[in-house]
Amino acid sequence: MTEHYVRRPSQPVRPTGLAMTVATLARRAAVTPDVIRYYARIGLLHPTRDKQNGYKLFSDQDVKRLSFIRKARSLGYRLSEIAEILGEASQGRSPCPRVRDIIRQRIEENRRRLDELVALQERMEQALATWNDLPDGAPDSQSVCHLIESDR
């Protein structure tokens, strides 16, 4: 079988499919080594161990898995949900129904949070409009800042 070689700028030529260290995988995925170690520790990545030095070694499959994790994170999925999705897939079951359910829930949560933020923004703008007309005050034994403490 012929091995295929990949040349990347400023990287040595090496056969594809060889095991990668944490640092190599981190560079390929544009994340920190700590992210790789954390994902391995919580079971999202499944490295093997180098028998000679004990280093964690990752495969091209881990690169694909890490790409999936990053895409799912960019859509708002939590790591626990990603683990659930990956677990379904590893057992040969379609995770798509669960993926849809989770994103529906997240959309509802986001709408609620957005509504709360809009209400907060309105309260803040109203407070500032009121406070612009009030004089500054010095703190005393009764008050820290009369602007915040006022009933507006």
pTM of the model: 0.71
Degrees to nearest 5, angle at CA 90 with 84 and 93: 80
Residue 28 forms part of a structural domain = yes
Can you tell me the distance from the alpha carbon of 82 to that of 67, in angstroms, rounded to the nearest whole number? Answer: 12
Residues 35-50 have pLDDT tens digits of: 999 999 999 999 998 8
Strands 48-49, 14-15: pairing is unpaired
Q: Is residue 76 part of a domain?
A: yes
State the Cα–Cα distance between residues 81 and 110, nearest whole angstrom: 17
For residue 143, which amino acid is it? S
Residue ranges making up the domain that contains 84: 5-93
Domains held by the chain: number: 1
**CATH number, residue 88:** 1.10.1660.10
Residue 125 covered by a domain: no
Tell me the pLDDT band of 135, cut-offs 50, 70 and 90. Answer: confident
DSSP 80-122: HHHHHHHHHHHTT---HHHHHHHHHHHHHHHHHHHHHHHHHHH
Does residue 143 belong to any structural domain of this protein?
no
